[in-house]
Structure 1
Amino acid sequence: MSGFNILERFSLSGRRALVTGAGRGLGRSIAEGLASAGAEVTLCARTESEVEEGARCIRDHGFKAEALVADVSDIAGFRATVDAMHAHDIFVNNAGTNRPKPLSDVTIEDFDAVIGLNLRAAVFAAQAVTARMANLGIQGSVINMSSQMGHVGAANRTIYCASKWALEGFTKALAVELGPVGIRVNTVAPTFIETPMTTPFLEDPAARNAIVSKIKLGRLGTPEDVVGAVLFLASDASALVTGSALLVDGGWTAD
């Protein structure tokens, strides 16, 4: 009767997790969730004060966390950092950005910033972490943070959509490549989530109402909604799940 111990499969006790973009917002919430499930979490971001404070808060709650100041867009530097530290069983490839505007107003600098972080840095961060996993025989879980915009289109988000659609394709290909060594690769694809970063945009009643009208469950997402999806994909509860996208979009993409 294996169903009676299914909750044990959600435990992350004894595992190490690395979360990029973990200084604030969704990344920090994910780090807190992984720690509460038993993982030893490394919070990675460029701003030392943010990751140090986040790690300290997790430790103050009785869980295990450390801070890592690193820039994932520095490909060689991040690879060297990963190679020099302890290995991880779980990698949440979360760092990302957006510059919403009509394509007619998009500059080369905008393109390079969005594609550079959302795709280029994400690809090579995954390369660095999974190479170390494979070399050490770790059958780990990689969770690439995508978006519902990796499955649909939207005005003023052409470059963002391009980056996330590409990340979805990359995820499927990497899952095929790493399946034989037991490394699972999936995406979490959220809808609009209420975080400090989205607050200014969502404070506009017209914008907020337009967004909610597309979400079949009739509400915006919360960080906790996304954390639950990440915990599932990080744990043995999803042991047969790879190359998949877990849409946390309230039904936005259902029609």
Structure 2
Amino acid sequence: MTSQDFSGKSVLVTGAGKGIGRAVAIMLASRGAKVVALSRSEADLKSLEAEIGSRSIAVDLSDAAATREAAIAAMPVDYLVNCAGTTTLDSFVDVSAEDFDHLMAVNTRAPMIVSQEYARSRIGMNAAGSIVNVSSASATTGFADHAAYCASKGALDAMSRVMANELGRKGIRVNCVNPTITLTDMARKAWSDPEKAAPMMARMPLGRFIETDEVAEVVLFLLSERAAMVNGISMPVDSGFAIN
């Protein structure tokens, strides 16, 4: 199998309704995979299902019990992409405990729960596997007004390294992809003002923000057997943002 061919493989993608998750799901389907799509929005899932024939499971990933139930229902699958995420915009002194807990639940605890059920399924079948967690450049950068988001993504990176260490011994690789500003529909609107975008663009050596398909390509590579000896990394997809 190459990164171009996922024929006969099944992949669970969380956050598949929008943005990077949707791009990942569509690209996987275009390369032969059977996609199991998790999203909070039933409308988004129905739209994706109509486009690629995915199997849909609607779930609020901030609910731990519902997340575990959905993950169990999705099994067995060959691969897992944890892509769902959320954010808030608050200064450090203003972020509420409720918002902090919500971001940790969706961005860190949900990937843990889904990955636990995936790992149990693969280990139970004595089968190898691959997990890609979609993290963020925020995991290692102190973006102002993103305290809870940065904390949740930093925790996801740290947890992924532990997962890679423990699950790698069972034949399950775990890696992160860490994009910076990625042009989802929401991001295109948020960064459409050139004056607002200029300070961030100045930190992009390649001179532009990232397209969702460019993140998806890296996700598929890390899932695939072409990355058979890649385990425990956090790969920037960021135009060189991390070197500034």
| Partners of 2:50 and 2:166 in 1: CA distance | 37
Residue 102 of structure 1 deviates from its aligned partner by 1.1
Cα offsets for 1:208-243 (capped at 9, x unmatched): 111111111110100111011011011111011110
Q: What code does the residue aligned with 2:106 have?
A: L
In structure 2, the partner of 1:62 is none
- SS state of the match for residue 67, structure 1? strand
In structure 1, the partner of 2:227 is 238
Residue 206 of structure 1 deviates from its aligned partner by 2.2
In structure 1, the partner of 2:70 is 81
Q: What code does the residue aligned with 2:210 have?
A: G
- SS state of the match for residue 246, structure 1? strand
Cα offsets for 1:152-186 (capped at 9, x unmatched): 22111121111111111100011000111100100
| Partners of 1:110 and 1:84 in 2: CA distance | 28
Alignment of 1:1-255 (within 5 A): 8-10=1-3, 11-59=5-53, 65-255=54-244
Contact residue 148 and residue 253 of structure 1 kept, 8 A: yes
Does 39-48 or 77-86 show the bigger shift?
77-86
Residue 85 of structure 1 deviates from its aligned partner by 4.2
| Partners of 1:137 and 1:69 in 2: CA distance | 29
Contact residue 14 and residue 82 of structure 2 kept, 8 A: yes
Is there any run of 5+ residues in structure 2 with no aligned partner, and where?
none
TM-score by length of structure 1 reads: 0.91
| Runs of at least 4 residues off by over 3 Å | none
Is there any run of 5+ residues in structure 1 with no aligned partner, and where?
1-7, 60-64
Residue 205 of structure 1 deviates from its aligned partner by 2.2
Residue 86 of structure 1 deviates from its aligned partner by 3.9
Contact residue 12 and residue 74 of structure 2 kept, 8 A: no
Q: Percent identity?
A: 36
Aligned-pair Cα RMSD in Å: 1.4
Residue 53 of structure 1 deviates from its aligned partner by 1.1
Contact residue 185 and residue 243 of structure 1 kept, 8 A: yes
Residue 107 of structure 1 deviates from its aligned partner by 1.2
TM-score by length of structure 2 reads: 0.94
Contact residue 73 and residue 121 of structure 1 kept, 8 A: yes
Q: What code does the residue aligned with 1:12 have?
A: F
Contact residue 81 and residue 134 of structure 2 kept, 8 A: yes
Does 179-188 or 153-162 show the bigger shift?
153-162
Cα offsets for 1:180-213 (capped at 9, x unmatched): 1100100010010111121332123222111111
